[in-house]
Amino acid sequence: MSSDATEERVLEAVRARRTLVNDALDTDVPMQSPERLYEATRYLLEAGGKRLRPTVALLTAESLADVDPLTADYRSFPALDGSEVDVMSAATSIEVIQSFTLIHDDIMDDDDLRRGVPAVHREYDTETAILAGDTLYAKAFELLSNTGADPANGVAAVSRLATTCTQICEGQALDVEFEHRDAVLPEEYLEMVELKTAVLYGAATSTTALLLDADADVVDALYQYGIDAGRAFQIQDDVLDLTVPSEQLGKQRGSDLIENKETLITLHARQQGIDVESLLESTDIDAVSEAAVENAVATLDEAGSIEYASNTATDLVERAKNHLEVLPDNDARSLLCDIADYLITRGY
């Protein structure tokens, strides 16, 4: 299938599930009292987002159960042990965790914009943003511990999600630490990306598989799919941060570079002898012009650094797709394959 046709197929699959996930989020994270708190918990959820992680969770369920996509009820989904499981709650719990981490990360990174709207701590205040994140955190565990799965599978899924959250915190701590360090090795960067971003993709697939009573080797392979796809996703994000116009990104283009955040691209450039700090004159995001970013990107491009990152992401996507061989050969598996491709072909 052509790349365009693949992308269209992925976007259609994501769109269809996004609508269902958004409806489920209205139920799973309802507006209630205290109003200001719950408005803030819902604010970023309502600001949009592609819902890639929950889509991956739902497709994992559909492939494992070998059902035709979008034919089974996600709220009482047929598990392999014959029980019925609310896999939608597993999917929303992942999105809710993602949302909590974005809210807290934006405070820590002092970022003003997210998904084209003010970050929660800007729209409300830091106190409310901390608390909104904490509330979503709890909601995710409420959701995942009430799926109706066999309790042994339920408790395994919860344990997996908890470990994932610990790792995400470790990844964020490393990310902050790297900003204050002189030298970061590419493998250290990749470990940080694995912890900060990829493990949540791993949780999306593996918690779903656990709830559905999949065998341990299947759970492991699906986890690895998530890890490799998630790492590719983050590396592509770093590429897009440099190559996509600000309007399309929903935030300032080149913000990582402006704020001296290490990425695989800057690490490669350093190894080529480029003085990364001097690429831009200011670290103030409002003082850097689009043209200055354009020039800096041209230098990184000539050094082969952007291509290096892209190639790394492509390799990871190939590894991700190979892990899917544990799944039955069906449409949902094929879509998971295409999504892995899409993660690095997407324009934003």
Residue closer to a copy of itself, measured from CB, 212 or 269: 212
Window 85-114: contact mask with a copy of itself (x via CB under 8 A): -------------------x--xx------
- The least CB distance from residue 233 to a copy of itself, in Å, is 22
- The least CB distance from residue 269 to a copy of itself, in Å, is 25
Bridge partners (DSSP) of residue 194 are none
Window 127-166: contact mask with a copy of itself (x via CB under 8 A): xx-xx-xxx-xxx-xx--xx---xxx-xx--xx-xxxxxx
- The least CB distance from residue 163 to a copy of itself, in Å, is 6
How far is it, in rounded angstroms, from Cα 73 to Cα 68?
A: 11
Contacts of 286 (CB under 8 A, 6+ apart): none
Interaction with a copy of itself in 242-301: which residues (CB under 8 A)? Answer: none
Window 159-188: contact mask with a copy of itself (x via CB under 8 A): x-xxxxxx--xx-xxx-xx-----------
Residue closer to a copy of itself, measured from CB, 139 or 323: 139
- Given a contact cutoff of 8 angstroms between Cβ atoms, the answer to whether 93 and 140 are in contact is yes
Bridge partners (DSSP) of residue 114 are 117
- The least CB distance from residue 39 to a copy of itself, in Å, is 11
- The least CB distance from residue 261 to a copy of itself, in Å, is 14
- Given a contact cutoff of 8 angstroms between Cβ atoms, the answer to whether 217 and 326 are in contact is yes
- The least CB distance from residue 104 to a copy of itself, in Å, is 6
Residue closer to a copy of itself, measured from CB, 31 or 108: 108
Residue closer to a copy of itself, measured from CB, 120 or 343: 120
How far is it, in rounded angstroms, from Cα 294 to Cα 59?
A: 38
Region class of 207: left (phi > 0), else alpha (psi between -120 and 50), else beta: alpha
Residue closer to a copy of itself, measured from CB, 156 or 317: 156
Count Cβ atoms below 10 Å from residue 173 Cβ, excluding itself.
Answer: 14
81 touches a copy of itself (CB under 8 A): no
Residue closer to a copy of itself, measured from CB, 137 or 348: 137
- The least CB distance from residue 234 to a copy of itself, in Å, is 18
Considering only CA atoms, which of 91, 110, 109, 101 is closest in space to residue 44?
A: 101
Count Cβ atoms below 10 Å from residue 69 Cβ, excluding itself.
Answer: 17
Interaction with a copy of itself in 26-55: which residues (CB under 8 A)? Answer: 33-34, 36-37
- The least CB distance from residue 273 to a copy of itself, in Å, is 29
Q: What DSSP letter does each residue of 144-187 carry, written as one string?
A: HT-S---HHHHHHHHHHHHHHHHHHHHHHHHHHHHHT-S---HH
Residue closer to a copy of itself, measured from CB, 108 or 298: 108
Token pair of 199, please? 């493990």
Interaction with a copy of itself in 306-335: which residues (CB under 8 A)? Answer: none
Token pair of 247, please? 């309007």
Instruction: Please name the amino acid found at residue 75.
Output: R
**SS3 for 304?**
coil
Compute how many residues bind a copy of itself; rule: CB under 8 A.
Answer: 42
The answer, yes or no, to whether the previous bond of 69 is cis (omega within 30 of 0) is no
How far is it, in rounded angstroms, from Cα 287 to Cα 280?
A: 10
Considering only CA atoms, which of 257, 262, 260, 259 is closest in space to residue 299?
A: 257
- The least CB distance from residue 134 to a copy of itself, in Å, is 5
Residue closer to a copy of itself, measured from CB, 131 or 193: 131
Contacts with a copy of itself, residue ranges (CB under 8 A): 33-34, 36-37, 104, 107-108, 126-128, 130-131, 133-135, 137-139, 141-142, 145-146, 150-152, 154-155, 158-159, 161-166, 169-170, 172-174, 176-177
